Amino acid sequence: MGPRGTRSVGNSLQVRAFRRFARKPWCYGAAKQVVDIMERRGWKPYQISAIRCVMDDFRQAYTGERPCIYTTAFVPTELVYGLGAVPFLPEVAAGYAAAFGFAYDALGAAESMWYSADLCSFHRAGVGAGKLGVLPRPSAVIATAHLCDGGKKSLHRMSKDAGCPFYLLDVPYDRSERGQKRLRDQVEHIAFDLPEKVPGISPEGMAEAIRVSNATLDDYLEVCALRQHSPSPWRGGEALNYVVMFLGAWGNPWLAEFYKDLASHIRGIIASGEYPCCSERHRLLWLNLRPYYKTGLLDYLELELETSVAFEEYNWPYWSELDPDDPFASVARKMLANFGWGPIERRLAAVDSMIDDYSIDGVVQFAQWGCRQSNGGASMLADHLKRRGIPFLNLGGDGVDVRNGSEAQAMTRLGAFVELIDAKKAR
């Protein structure tokens, strides 16, 4: 996709090296051996499962072993796995870019293409990474129209650059029968149109992908139930890193392995009493994402302030079991079930459920710079929580672009917020 070998903004040594090696199959053989060593050296089974899940998808996407389909974060990946392809989420890749120090290059590349720094950095970095040629080559792009303007627009651009088919799932606003049918028809259209355009794609695996997804959901619901335990048995700071699994791997059998291992890990923590935050003072619900570049923010909150992030909005399972006999309608229903879509009351109700289920003392919304759909609800969220007597903090920052985040300021605000909860409990 990108201008290979050309000098452009962000085309750093790191980027050039990644671009050169990411498509070599032997790299994944070497990486597999490294993961085996990590496993022997005591990395936790769920961490190893997660790495293997991501690595497996990356290998198939980068080496062209299977067709790669770019999607936005809220496309049910059952659709992609069911078609026999491998999903790739550029906005998730932006999180990796931040974690591994590529983000500045990707953001610079996007800005050199006239993308405004006022746009959400997850999408901006995705477009920039595409320009730098560090993403796998997409065979097709599927975007949903709900929740996020940046996702669909950035992926549309990437499909044009790649010269591959672009499909927009124009999700209706309401959940009426008419709306469901419209969305179901669009899903079905993709499932039958794409095989005519991309070799190696077939809808035959849809039912199986949905069965895998359902089985995984059972495992995941157990993880969620275990996380209701107080003190919190798993750090939210770490859970926010695994949002990538939650967003991008439904329908992949590795995801079930990951959640099984995670449940086992959490059960072990509860049995041993070795909680990550032993003297837990408060339990928070975290809305939206977190900074993925190197930051001490979550450590400060959970370890120094002894305040657990007990659960995260973007890890909340909002759909019920899907029907493998009616896969297209199921995928449509899953999209429509998203609590971030539709009137704000749906999101407020979801937050209420999480507060009740996870015994939450306070709510923090990480106000990702440029995230209109989430930040636009802040005043209503604040008012709603105030009526419930739950303290709320709207914490400005940026998950990818370090230039928009001030760690010291954020820490000060979190410290003050914890004091506020202290005072509230003392009353």
Residues of span 182-221 touching other proteins by CB under 8 A: 182, 185-186
Q: Which C-beta is closer to other proteins: that of 24 or that of 160?
A: 160
Per CB under 8 A, the segment of 26-34, 94-102, 190-198, 378-386 that binds other proteins is 378-386
Site string for other proteins, 324-363 (x = CB under 8 A): -------------------xx-------------------
Q: In what order do the strands lie in the sheet with 140-144?
A: 86-88, 68-71, 140-144, 166-169
Given a contact cutoff of 8 angstroms between Cβ atoms, the answer to whether 352 and 281 are in contact is no
Per CB under 8 A, the segment of 8-16, 76-84, 148-156, 201-209 that binds other proteins is 148-156
Q: Which C-beta is closer to other proteins: that of 25 or that of 343?
A: 343
Shortest distance in whole angstroms from residue 395 CB to other proteins: 13
Task: Report d(CA 66, CA 60) in Å as an integer.
Answer: 5
Shortest distance in whole angstroms from residue 105 CB to other proteins: 18
Shortest distance in whole angstroms from residue 148 CB to other proteins: 7
CA torsion 74-80-96-50 (nearest 10°) is 110
Per CB under 8 A, the segment of 36-44, 163-171, 202-210, 288-296 that binds other proteins is 163-171
Q: Which C-beta is closer to other proteins: that of 154 or that of 216?
A: 154
Task: Report d(CA 418, CA 406) in Å as an integer.
Answer: 18
Number of amino acids touching other proteins (CB under 8 A): 43
Per CB under 8 A, the segment of 68-76, 97-105, 176-184, 190-198 that binds other proteins is 176-184
| Nearest alpha-carbon partner for 103 in 126, 73, 87 | 126
Task: Report d(CA 216, CA 194) in Å as an integer.
Answer: 26
Shortest distance in whole angstroms from residue 76 CB to other proteins: 19
Shortest distance in whole angstroms from residue 133 CB to other proteins: 18
**Token pair of 99, please?**
């974690």
Report the half-sphere exposure of 142 (CA within 13 A, side-chain side): 27
Residue 6 binds other proteins (CB under 8 A): no
State the helix-helix crossing angle for 90-99 and 121-132, rounded to 10 degrees: 90
Identity of the amino acid at 122: F
Residues of span 80-139 touching other proteins by CB under 8 A: 113-116, 118-120
Q: Which C-beta is closer to other proteins: that of 362 or that of 370?
A: 370
Selected binder of other proteins within 197, 372, 388, 403 (CB under 8 A): 372
Residue 71 binds other proteins (CB under 8 A): no
Selected binder of other proteins within 156, 211, 229, 413 (CB under 8 A): 156
Residue with tokens 């035959």: 204
Shortest distance in whole angstroms from residue 91 CB to other proteins: 14
Given a contact cutoff of 8 angstroms between Cβ atoms, the answer to whether 306 and 421 are in contact is no
Residue 3 binds other proteins (CB under 8 A): no
Per CB under 8 A, the segment of 71-79, 233-241, 278-286, 364-372 that binds other proteins is 364-372
Task: Report d(CA 225, CA 220) in Å as an integer.
Answer: 9
Cα(first)–Cα(last) distance of the chain, in Å?
59
Q: What is the DSSP string of 51-67?
A: HHHHHHHHHHHHHTSS-
Residue 397 binds other proteins (CB under 8 A): no
Residue 369 binds other proteins (CB under 8 A): yes
Taking residue 345's Cβ as centre, other Cβ atoms within 10 Å add up to: 11
Residue 388 binds other proteins (CB under 8 A): no
| Nearest alpha-carbon partner for 162 in 142, 137, 143, 136 | 137
| Nearest alpha-carbon partner for 192 in 87, 72, 328 | 328
Residue 416 binds other proteins (CB under 8 A): no
Task: Report d(CA 249, CA 245) in Å as an integer.
Answer: 5
CA 29 distance to own-chain centroid: 26
Q: Name the DSSP class of 9.
A: T
Residue 366 binds other proteins (CB under 8 A): no
Identity of the amino acid at 198: V
Question: Interface with other proteins by CB under 8 A: which residues?
Answer: 113-116, 118-120, 145, 147-150, 152-154, 156-157, 160, 166, 168, 170, 172-174, 178-179, 182, 185-186, 343-344, 367, 369-370, 372-373, 375-380, 383
